[in-house]
Structure formats: C-alpha cells, structure tokens
Chains A and B, each alone.
With several copies, the nearest count.
Chain A
Amino acid sequence: MNLDLRELYQQVILDHNKNPRNFKILTNYNHFAEGYNPLCGDKIDIYVLIESNIIKDVSFVGNGCAISKSSASLMTTILKGKTEEEAKQIFENFHVMITGKLNEEKSLEELGKLAVFQGVKEFPARVKCASLAWHTFNAAVKNEKTVTTE
C-alpha cells in the first residue's frame, strides 16, 4: 500500500472508524449541537454533559468518512474529565497540527493520541473532516444549535 496513504489512514483511525467509542445518545446531557460538512454529506450530533466546568460525559452519533468519524470518536475519549479551558486548548493545538502549522516537537507530544491525525495536513480537503467534531463540540458548549464547515 502507498506510504502516504498509510500515513493518512493510520491503524488507530481505522480502528476508531470501525468501532467508534461513545457512539450513542447521552440520556443525561446539557449541551447539544449538530454539525454538517456539506462537501461530503457528513453529519454529526454531539451530546455533552458539563458540571462545574468539567466535561463529565460526551458522545456522538451520525455518519461520515473515516476521518471525521474517528476524529469524533477519539475526541470523546480525550475530552472526558477535562475542563472547558483544557478542551479549548487541545482543539487549538489539534487545529494547528492538521492545518500544518505546528513546528515544535513539544506540542506534538502534548497532542498525545491525537497525533495520529497529523497525516491530514497533506490533504487540505480532509481538514474539515478531521475538525468537524471539534467545531460541533464548540458549538454545543456555546449553545449554538448547528455548525457547518465548508
């Protein structure tokens, strides 16, 4: 298989795509938003439970390509237990990475498991797939109902 191809579709990504974590509707949540990526028809609903500034629970449902689905799945596993501010910081680092603007090794380390998405930076068309869940999470937290990435 093509090397670059394997860089985009890393094993972790394929795994989360096949077996998405937290793929359900929360019965107890206080934030919600719908995200669309009209380019590929991706649609993701994000459910969040925040208590005393801590993300107690987060889940998603919807359909999309491997990149957007696995990104949503990984996001939910990472955000649980974080504060809103921490979440914001992680998304910022993540966004910097997938748009190819990251230049310090250190921040890549900070990104931990999310580093599997670094191949995305070579695929401008896929940046929106990788960031859709995060944008939607942000919208949910800000109590905006829908978000579109284009």
Chain B
Amino acid sequence: MAIEIDNNEKKNRTFDIDKIRNDFPILKQLINGKPLVYFDNAATTQKPLSVINKIESYYKEINSNIHRGVHTLSQRATVEYEATREKVMRFINAENLSEIIFTKGTTDSINLVASSFGKKFVKEGDEIIVSQMEHHSNIVPWQMLCEEKNAHLKVIPINDSGELIIEEYEKLITEKTKLVSIVYVSNSLGTINPVKEIIKIAHSKNVPVLIDAAQAIQHFKIDVKELDCDFLCFSGHKVYGPTGIGVLYGKQALLESMPPYQGGGDMIRSVSFSKTVYNSLPAKFEAGTPNIEAGIALGTAFDYINSIGIENIFDYETDLFNYANEKILAIDKLIPIGTAKNKSGTISFILDGVHPHDIGTILDFDGVAIRTGHHCTQPVMERFNLPATARISFGLYNTKEEVDIAIKSIKKVFEVFI
C-alpha cells in the first residue's frame, strides 16, 4: 500500500524544472538544428525515463501473459499489471478495483459505454446530451448509437468565449434523457467546464453523466467521489504513459448492470456452446490479452506524477499558462479562439491572413512543435466559422523560455507573409 503524504507536505516539495526536464530524454532532441520545444501535449505527452525504462525492463525481465499462468514470470507480470489498477483507483479516488476498466484509450472507453450502456438503457426516442465542444470521440459513438436505436443526440451550445451555455443545458434535459456525456477540459478551446454543476443538474433528474477527462487528468486533481460522476475516461498516452492503454472508470452498480462489450478470453467465467457465463468486474469488460506492457508502464507514469505531486503540477502549469496566455494574446493580429474564464493547458489561435498550417510549418523550422487543424473538434471550428486553428498545449516540462521562443517564431510568420 502506498504511503500517504499529506497535502501540505506535497505542496512544500519544490518543483525542480531542470530535474524534471532531465527526466524526459526527448527534450534533448534537435529539430531542424534547434532544441525541440514540444507544445503538442494535448495530442500526446512525452514520457519520462522511468516509464521508458519500465517498458524495457518489462520485456527484458518479466514479459509474460497474465491472469492465467502459474509460472513465475506470469505471476510477476500479473502482480505488476494489477498494481496499476490500484494506482489508478487511488489516483482518482475510486471506491474499489472493480470500477477501474482498462481500455485502449479514451475513444475505446467511450465506445464501450456507448455500446454497452446503450444496448441496455437506450431505446427509440430516448435522448443523449453532449456539447458543441466535444472531441469527435465523444460525438461519433453517440451518433452511431442514436442511428441504430432511433434515439436523438442533443447538443449543448457554446457562447463566443467557448463556454457551455448552462441555461440551454438545463432546458435540454428531459425525461427522455438517458445520459449526459461531457468533456472536462476542451482540447481545442482549453475551456474547463463546470462538470460538478453539470453532474448535479443531471443527477437531480436521475440522469447519469460521463466525463471525458482526456485533457484534465494530467493537469489537476480529479476525485470521482467528489465529482460524483458516473463514468470517467482518459488516455494513458496523454498523462505521460504509453499509447494503447486507457481507463474507463464507472460506478460499480452501473457497470454491473451493463452487458459485456467485447467477447473473448478473460471476460468469461465459463464457456460452452450451450451456456456461457460472464466474468465479474473488471474482467467482464476486458476481453483478450490486454496491453500488459502499457498497463504496467501506466502505473509508472502515475508513480512519476505522484513523486512530483499533482497539486504542484497544477500550480506550476497555472503560472506558466497565465504567462503564456498574456504574452501570446498580446501579439498583434493574433486572434485567440476560446477565451473562457476558466482555462487549462491549451491556447488556440489564428493569425489574420495566414492559414494555421503555414504557422505550424514555420514554427517547426524553429523546433517548435504545435498542432494545427480542427483538433478532432469540427463542430467547434464550425461554431467559430474557421477551417482550423493553431494550438499550443502545455506539459509539466514546458517553460516560460519556451513560450518566448514560440512567440518569437509566431512573429516570424508575419515576416514571411507580409
């Protein structure tokens, strides 16, 4: 069992940015002869050496299939894999291990819920509520479900700052609403949604809520009990862990009431052609050989975050974000997209007369990696009548100096295009 450090002690640990940067080998890469300035963290984060080393030692020392083996390697691998489930449970303060389902990523998690919850609870004429700022992975699975079931997808609109219009949300909930599925932090606008309030409103009408925490889990403390969310999803690769692993948290009673998603090994108790009995949670939703390597390394990623303290990460990143936001928004002819009061992690913008794709190319010349495009949120682009934006998104290893380099590079864009 992990030793609990009280919050004050956590706060008092210093945030040693030089040491942290040293933990990420890729930051020493040169891109076009310049040091990499990695500002594409919302797409995927870089990995600390401890995570990389864990994968290496896993394959060099204990690689084995898990759950069904009596031999030593299989036992070791099983123990390490299941240890991650416990780390995740503690990190988000879930009630028990049955509530932590390993998936391929956020997209897989949401599809699991859309399929399984949908099969059980969504009927013709029912309604699902999402928002206009959802990632495609929190839109398309519901569209597919609604098409199949003849149900309806309702959309909470956003205002010009990129904030949800809560009054409209309240009007959308009816007796037909079966689920509200909402992003915690928008990956294209940076908006932090008032999910606690959203959940309260839904619960007052007995509607469960799914929270897409893909852009939240890496930036601030999440407590599923305090939020009282019914489902919560995130991707390992956006929280300093490997690709190919994600988490679906669900309240136990809800998960128990849902039918399995995929069929295969591990998710069954017994199989025969006359009668197959499904396994209990969490195995019921984990068919087939899991991503063992990534599951184990995800635990190491959480160890890493815990060694710094998520509150310290939040404080550091908030300071960095405020610095960047002020300086970037001060750039002449730069138009920010998404100006919500509560923001985290992401600054989206366009430059007058320059296509974001060209901005991306020019910044890349200076080693600055940003993302340009619709960020898998085309309804947001439509809302602001844009084909694309340029997006700077932060990780715990970014610095103010890097922000300055990016700003210099953004100014260069005008030199080229005038």
Contact = CB atoms under 8 A, between A and B. Distances in A.
A and B touch in the complex (CB under 8 A): yes
B388 interface: yes
A108 interface: no
A43 B387 contact: yes
Nearest to B372: A40
A41 B381 contact: yes
Interface in B362-418: 362, 365-366, 372-374, 381, 387-388, 412, 415-417
Contacts, number: 76
Contacts of A9: 358, 416-417
Contacts of B353: 18
Interface string A1-15: 110111011000010
Contact of B70 (A5, A40, A69): A40
Nearest to A66: B358
A5 B417 CA distance: 11
A39 interface: yes
Nearest to B71: A125
Nearest to B415: A1
B257 interface: no
A41 B387 CA distance: 6
A43 B372 CA distance: 15
A33 B74 CA distance: 30
A8 B361 contact: yes
Interface string A99-136: 00000000000000000000000011110010000000
Nearest to A1: B415
A41 B358 contact: no
Contacts of B373: 39-41
Interface string A30-63: 0000001011111100000000000000000001
Given A65-B355, A129-B357, A41 B374 contact: yes
Contact of B280 (A42, A64, A67, A148): A148
B358 A65 contact: yes
B388 A40 contact: yes
B355 A66 contact: yes
A123 B355 contact: no
B387 A14 contact: no
B75 interface: yes
A40 B355 contact: yes
A124 B69 CA distance: 11
Contact of A148 (B269, B356, B365): B269
Interface in A78-118: none
Contacts of A65: 355-358
A63 B355 contact: yes
B171 interface: no
A112 B366 CA distance: 31
The interface centre, meaning the residue of B269, B279, B361, B374 with most chain A CB atoms within 10 A of its CB, is B361
A64 B355 contact: yes
B361 A42 contact: no
A42 B365 CA distance: 22
A148 B268 CA distance: 12
Contacts of B358: 9, 65-67
A124 B361 contact: no
B30 interface: no
A125 B70 contact: yes
A124 B75 contact: yes
Interface of B: 32, 67-70, 74-75, 79, 269-270, 279-280, 283, 353-358, 361-362, 365-366, 372-374, 381, 387-388, 412, 415-417
Listed from nearest, the 7 A-B pairs whose CB atoms lie closest are: A65-B357, A65-B355, A40-B357, A41-B387, A41-B388, A66-B358, A125-B70
